[in-house]
Amino acid sequence: MATAGKVIKCKAAVAWEADSPLVIEEIEVAPPQKNEIRLKVIAASICLSDVYHMYKGKPKDGFPVVMGHEGAGIVESVGPGVTEFKPGDKVIPLYLSQCRDCKFCKNPKTNMCEKDWSGNQMFKQSPSEIRFTCRSKPLLQFMRTGIFSEYTIKNKIALVKVHDDAQLDRVFLFGCGVSTGYGAAINNAKVCPGSVCAVFGLGAVGLSAVMGCKHAGASRIIAVDINEERFEKAKILGATDFVNPKLHQKPISEVLIEMTNGGVDYSVECVGQVDVMRSALESCIKGWGVSVIAGWTDLYDFSARPIQLIAGRTWKGTSFGGFKGKDDVPKLVLDHMAGRINLDVFVTHNMNLDQINEVFCFISISIQLH
């Protein structure tokens, strides 16, 4: 392409500081360096983690930053050492890399990768890794992605090629939310046919968890949310029962225990609040109940009475639904193309980059309601 090897000037949504609106700026995107790929972003969406970074987590060294990590695009150019990608390839950025060489990548029990992931350093980049600048100031890439830019840069271990016929304005959802919720049910909880499940929180992650429970063969899926408008989509994706905690005087865990004669076999927490995490665990049946934390937070400690685990329950977490990105995302895309994974239900609005603050405002309000 004509832009290969040159600095590209383009629009991006920049968070200069916490608790402030994003600013649409003209930024400079450097050419890709060794083992890097520069891509033109075609579609992206806002994840709750983006809002969390700006309005809750607010790390002092996490700004200024180009936000966003869930999206898809087309390869514009590649740097030295890149052989598995070429200009024109359709790709999905991965916030959780897969180098295939480290002890984690080689272990089938996890999707962690020691070359990229560190829970409290997902936004940090050394000066030598900076590829975005604006007004001569370096900009970070949120989760080393920075998808709210017309162009972005990714390392080859954090990018995956997908089918040439993939619909990018749908499959970009596999970059975070859908993979996380769907995998939480099938990979981490390992939902069994005929089981009873509960999903706490019906945003994109929660709705995907409902879909995962359904695909795994659950006979009963209880959707839990204080926003009843979300129940309709949950029903489309397989939910059978619907509970609004605000309509009950007793704790939601007691409500679910009564509904299921002892508790659910599996629960998935998709809100990112520690009190909900505990409720999800306590909703599980003793002896074999499994609860998976899929919601993100790093502000507070969580707790539970030891008897909850002593009695045989299992409490675990998930990142990216347990999927190894480079191995598994192409398979998810093929499942969508074959009609096995419904992504249309997740797309509610189509907006341009200039409207991004409208979306952030709406999501921020939604967070405060939980």
CA distance 151 to 132: 10
* Region label for 132, one of left (φ > 0), alpha (ψ between -120 and 50) or beta (otherwise): beta
Q: What is the DSSP letter of 83?
A: -
State the Rg of the chain over Cα.
20
Is 337 buried (19+), middle (13-18) or exposed (0-12) by CB count in 10 A?
Answer: middle
Q: Which residues are catalytic?
A: 47, 49, 53, 69, 176
Tell me the C-alpha to C-alpha distance, in Å, between residue 12 and each of 60, 183, 228, 301, 370.
21, 31, 35, 35, 30
Q: Which helix (H) or strand (E) holds 310?
A: helix 306-310
Residue 332 CA, distance from chain mean position: 14
Say if strands 159-161 and 90-93 run parallel, antiparallel, or are unpaired: antiparallel
CA distance 131 to 96: 19
Tell me the C-alpha to C-alpha distance, in Å, between residue 21 and each of 10, 13, 18, 181, 191.
19, 9, 8, 28, 40
CA distance 270 to 273: 9
